[in-house]
């Protein structure tokens, strides 16, 4: 019958790609990195935004929650696909005993059901993706005062995205220091998100 039943089964993979939230990288601390409370004295600071989020307690909590939501959606998609395949097989088996017009009516209804199901499941995936993007924005908004504090403590005039700095002998990366301070102030951010949802 050639009915397409492809649902977004890899919700976790799609989610990881769309939100750029992956498994936190190993926490490496070199001898020269500033991890103590004091900020490095530098006119230019750099930060790694993706690592700042993914290695923070806030980002790791969000990652766990999104992975759990993705796993639920993936399981649901697999269940729905199995049900649709069984329905398609039943319709195929009934075809020889049915009038062509009657079969076509049922086949068209089945096709419509498949398309509607796909749209529903795709929307659920988009909603999970949006949750990740919203949480990421909230994290950086909440982190801004902390980053400004690091900038003041360092006497710096700017904090640049590390990936946009081609070469600088004066820039100091404060990602690790920022993670430490953000974790101390925000924790995993669960309380912050609860307050936002209550407003």
pLDDT band of 43, cuts 50, 70, 90:
confident
Rg (CA), the chain: 25
User: Do residues 47 and 173 touch, judged by C-beta distance below 8 A?
Assistant: yes
Query: What's 133-191 look like in SS3?
Result: HHHHHHHHHHHHHHHHHHHHHHCCCEEEEHHHCCCCCCCEECHHHHHHHHHHHHCCCHH
Please check the confidence at residue 8 and state whether its pLDDT lies above 70. no
pLDDT for position 167: 77
Q: What pLDDT score was predicted for residue 23?
A: 34
Strands, E, within the chain: which ranges?
44-47, 158-161, 172-173
Backbone angles phi, psi at 21, to 5 degrees: -110, 115
pLDDT at 170: 66
Per-residue pLDDT band at 125 (split at 50, 70, 90): very high
Mean pLDDT across the chain: 82
């Amino acid at each position: 019958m050639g009915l397409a039943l492809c649902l977004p089964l890899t919700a976790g993979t799609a989610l990881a790609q769309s939100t750029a939230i992956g498994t936190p990288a190993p926490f490496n601390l070199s001898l020269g990195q500033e991890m103590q409370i004091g900020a490095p004295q530098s006119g230019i600071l750099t930060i790694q935004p993706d690592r700042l989020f993914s290695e923070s307690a806030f980002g790791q909590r969000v990652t766990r929650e999104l992975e759990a939501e993705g796993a639920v959606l993936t399981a649901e998609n697999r269940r729905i696909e199995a049900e649709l395949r069984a329905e398609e097989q039943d319709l195929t088996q009934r075809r020889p005993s049915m009038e062509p017009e009657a079969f076509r009516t049922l086949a068209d209804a089945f096709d419509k059901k498949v398309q509607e199901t796909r749209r529903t499941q795709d929307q659920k995936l988009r909603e999970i993706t949006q949750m990740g993007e919203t949480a990421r924005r909230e994290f950086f908004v909440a982190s801004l005062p902390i980053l400004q504090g690091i900038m003041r403590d360092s006497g710096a005039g700017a904090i640049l995205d590390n990936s946009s700095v081609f070469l600088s002998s004066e820039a100091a990366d404060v990602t690790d220091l920022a993670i430490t301070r953000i974790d101390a102030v925000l924790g995993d951010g669960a309380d912050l998100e609860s307050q936002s949802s209550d407003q």
